């Protein structure tokens, strides 16, 4: 999905009625590059851990059920096939959950950073009246408060010079 346009103030969460006042972003992918990079990192770690877990569980199961005669049977015969299928389905459900949680969590960071970047750009352009209103649960709340304090300080300085 493309990034929100710079003139789309509501997408950044900095419009009146936004932030913790109940407004929700409609776009889940705000900064595709960041969200893809963090998703790939979390996903690859989850896949490696799942492969190791599944291999250890499957090997342990094979060792427990092995007998002298069973050691000659095919690797995925009967009961082993069902256990292996159950492991694969459970792993797929787990990876789907990791993907969704990663997407939502990266959105909380990417959306907040987008709103902060827009506000800083506006302050650089001379618009010190702008304030950042992030949603409850968004990351970077402290940084947003600091940028808002900076904008208030700039406003106070401009008023004192007049």
Q: Note the pLDDT tens digit of each residue in 7-29.
A: 443 434 443 334 444 455 567 77
Q: Is the pLDDT reported for residue 69 higher than 70?
A: no
pLDDT for the residue 63: 73
Q: Domain for residue 8, yes or no? A: no
155 is a domain residue: yes
Count the domains in the chain: 1
In this structure, is residue 13 part of a structural domain? no
Indicate whether this model's pTM tops 0.75.
no
Q: Is residue 126 part of a domain?
A: yes
Q: Is residue 11 part of a domain?
A: no
Q: The domain containing residue 36 runs over which residues?
A: 27-161
Looking at the domain assignment, is residue 18 inside a domain?
A: no
Task: Outline where 10-78 has alpha helix (H).
Answer: 32-65
Residue 79 has pLDDT above 90, yes or no: no
Inside any domain, residue 17 = no
> Could you tell me which residue, 161 or 6, shows the higher pLDDT?
161
What pLDDT score was predicted for residue 9? 38
Q: Is residue 33 part of a domain?
A: yes
Q: Which residues of 19-55 are buried (b: 16+ CB within 10 A; e: fewer)?
A: beeeeebeeebbbeeebeebbeebeeebeeebeeeee
For CA atoms 90, 95, 100, 101, give the dihedral sign: positive
């Amino acid at each position: 999905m493309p990034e929100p346009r710079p003139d789309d103030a509501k997408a950044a969460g900095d419009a009146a009625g936004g932030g913790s006042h109940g407004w929700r972003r409609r776009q889940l992918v705000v900064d595709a590059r960041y969200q893809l990079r963090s998703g790939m990192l979390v996903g690859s770690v989850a896949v490696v851990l799942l492969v190791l877990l599944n291999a250890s569980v499957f090997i342990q199961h094979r060792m427990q059920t092995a007998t002298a005669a069973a050691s000659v049977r095919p690797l995925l015969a009967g009961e082993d096939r069902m256990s292996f299928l159950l492991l694969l389905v459970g792993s797929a459900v787990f990876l789907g959950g990791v993907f969704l949680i990663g997407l939502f969590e990266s959105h909380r960071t990417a959306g907040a950073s987008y709103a902060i970047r827009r506000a800083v750009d506006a302050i650089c352009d001379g618009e010190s009246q702008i304030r950042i209103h992030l949603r409850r649960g968004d990351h970077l709340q402290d940084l947003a408060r600091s940028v808002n304090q900076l904008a208030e300080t700039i406003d106070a300085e401009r008023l004192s010079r007049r």
